[in-house]
Amino acid sequence: MSDWHSTETVTEWDATADTRLPTRAEQQAILLALLEQAAVGEDAVLDLGVGSGLVAEAVLERLPGAALVGIDFSEAMLEQARKRLDRFGSRAHLLRHDLADLAALTLPVKRYAAVISIQTLHHLSDVEKEAAVAWAASVMVPGGLIIIVDRVSVPERLFDAWATTWRRVDPDTPESYAEYAQQLERGGDRPTRLQDQLAWLEHHGMDAACLHAYGNRALLVGRKRNRIV
């Protein structure tokens, strides 16, 4: 399992993050376009799993009036993020906290017009993932947007179909489901079915859809209803 508290691990990850995942650039471009369309204005974007601040930096550049509050459990990641986001001054606010226990977190008092989470929630259990979705919905303003870019699970009986698809963009795709499962275990990854993640968003007061997917990487969007139905 990766040691996200290690400065060496974080430095290596940060240097290669933009190239290690074939779907990253396209899905990040969609995320930024969605945030721009959402007219965040001078409200705040909440980043669950801000990491080294790569996506946060792009968000603050694209939304020049907005603030961003980033949460991560790794002090090593947050140190990288502080260096990267320092030029944005008070527009960037970083907090160290475990996403598995968001109910215990006190956020800065802001209007949260959007919540984003990029390649992070798959490290949580399903119970913790749904709790994070519920909490995110509770802190957003009505009409707010949540965007999740993350892994989804690959059923064993569909592994060959997924591998054939993923191998088109990644020649290092595992040859067997056993190898794939070992890869997940080494990374501490616990992905969930796409349909379950959409159901959580709907259950916690959002209209939800998957707007982009390739292989086992999906971009999910939910918009908070004005009232629970």
The dihedral formed by the CA atoms of 109, 111, 115 and 116, expressed in degrees to the nearest 10: -80
Instruction: Reply yes or no on whether the pLDDT at 60 is more than 90.
Output: yes
Residue 21: predicted pLDDT: 85
Residue 226: predicted pLDDT: 83
Sequence-ordered list of residues with C-beta below 8 angstroms from that of 49, at least 6 positions apart, any chain: 71, 72, 99, 117, 118, 119, 120, 121
Phi, psi of 215 (to 5 degrees): 60, -120
> Which pLDDT band, with edges at 50, 70 and 90, does 15 fall under?
confident
- The answer to whether the CB of 107 falls within 8 A of the CB of 48 is no
Instruction: Reply yes or no on whether the pLDDT at 84 is more than 60.
Output: yes
Residue that is written with structure tokens 């379950």 in the block? 196
Domain boundaries, the chain: 7-153+193-224, 155-190
Residue 11: predicted pLDDT: 73
Tokens of 200: 């959580």
Q: What is the mean pLDDT of residues 155-174?
A: 96
Residue 4: predicted pLDDT: 67
Q: Between β-strands 44-48 and 67-72, what pairing exists: parallel, antiparallel or unpaired?
A: parallel
SS3 content of the chain, % helix, strand, coil (to 5): 50, 25, 30
The CATH number fitting domain 7-153+193-224, selected from 3.40.50.150, 2.40.10.220, 3.30.2130.10, 3.40.50.20: 3.40.50.150
Tokens of 104: 């215990």
How is residue 120 annotated by DSSP? -
Residue 8: predicted pLDDT: 74
Tokens of 143: 């009409």
Q: What is the mean pLDDT of residues 41-68?
A: 97
Sign of CA dihedral 184, 213, 203, 133: positive
Residue 13: predicted pLDDT: 62
Tokens of 80: 């990288």
pLDDT tens-digit series, residues 193-223: 999 999 999 999 999 999 999 999 999 999 9
pLDDT tens-digit series, residues 65-83: 999 999 999 999 999 999 9
Instruction: Reply yes or no on whether the pLDDT at 107 is more than 50.
Output: yes
Give me the percent of the chain exceeding a pLDDT of 70: 94
Sign of CA dihedral 135, 10, 176, 149: positive
Instruction: Reply yes or no on whether the pLDDT at 162 is more than 80.
Output: yes
> Which pLDDT band, with edges at 50, 70 and 90, does 228 fall under?
very low
Mean pLDDT of the chain: 93
Sequence-ordered list of residues with C-beta below 8 angstroms from that of 121, at least 6 positions apart, any chain: 48, 49, 99, 129, 132, 148, 150
Instruction: Reply yes or no on whether the pLDDT at 16 is more than 80.
Output: no
